[in-house]
């Protein structure tokens, strides 16, 4: 983790290490996205004394360094996840706030085609679908 912080051109500090550890543990392998307040609550439970302003600052620094991705889902404040370089889109339940990440090759291909039809070369995109979650996840 300290190497990741150094490669980003940031000084390795205790708060940065703890925040990165939380983000990696909580968001790397599932559909969890954390807000600054979520990180703050996790740190409080662990008896860590890191202020909310510091957490906001570190999360923003990590975003600017490409370590984290920020999302502003409708009706929500900023949430973050580890940026592992894999592109994915999101489904959001409008009742519960549940977030499901997905990737669909057909959708990705069609988006590139649409961009080309309008004279664009697609560099990036954000697709967020809002709906009502109806139960168990489909087996993948």
Low-confidence ranges of the chain (pLDDT < 70): 1, 29, 75-76, 136-140
Alpha-carbon torsion 128, 25, 19, 43, what sign? Answer: positive
Q: Would you say how long the chain is, in residues?
A: 140
Q: Per the annotation, where are the binding residues?
A: 87, 89, 93, 125
Per domain, the residue ranges of the chain are 1-84, 87-139
Cα(58)–Cα(20) distance, rounded to whole angstroms?
9
Token readout for 78 is 């900023």
Quick one: pLDDT at residue 137? 60
Cα(61)–Cα(48) distance, rounded to whole angstroms?
20
Where do we find the tokens 């039809």?
117
Quick one: pLDDT at residue 125? 87
Full-prediction pTM beyond 0.85? Answer: no
Quick one: pLDDT at residue 5? 86
**Domain 1-84: CATH architecture, name and number where available:** Orthogonal Bundle (1.10)
Q: Per the annotation, where are the binding residues for Fe cation?
A: 87, 89, 125
Q: Per the annotation, where are the binding residues for Zn(2+)?
A: 93
Quick one: pLDDT at residue 138? 57
Question: Which class is 87-139 in CATH?
Answer: alpha beta
């Amino acid at each position: 983790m300290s190497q990741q912080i150094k490669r980003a051109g940031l000084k390795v500090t205790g708060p940065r290490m703890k925040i990165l550890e939380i983000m990696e543990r909580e968001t790397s392998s599932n559909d969890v996205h954390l807000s600054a307040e979520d990180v703050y609550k996790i740190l409080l439970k662990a008896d860590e004394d890191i202020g909310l302003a510091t957490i906001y600052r570190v999360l923003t620094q990590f975003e600017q360094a490409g370590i984290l991705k920020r999302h502003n889902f409708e009706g929500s404040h900023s949430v973050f996840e580890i940026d592992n370089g894999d592109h994915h889109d999101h489904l959001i339940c409008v009742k519960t706030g549940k977030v499901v990440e997905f990737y669909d090759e057909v959708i990705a291909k069609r988006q590139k085609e649409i961009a080309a039809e309008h004279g664009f070369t697609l560099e990036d995109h954000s697709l967020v679908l809002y709906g009502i979650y109806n139960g168990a996840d489909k087996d993948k």
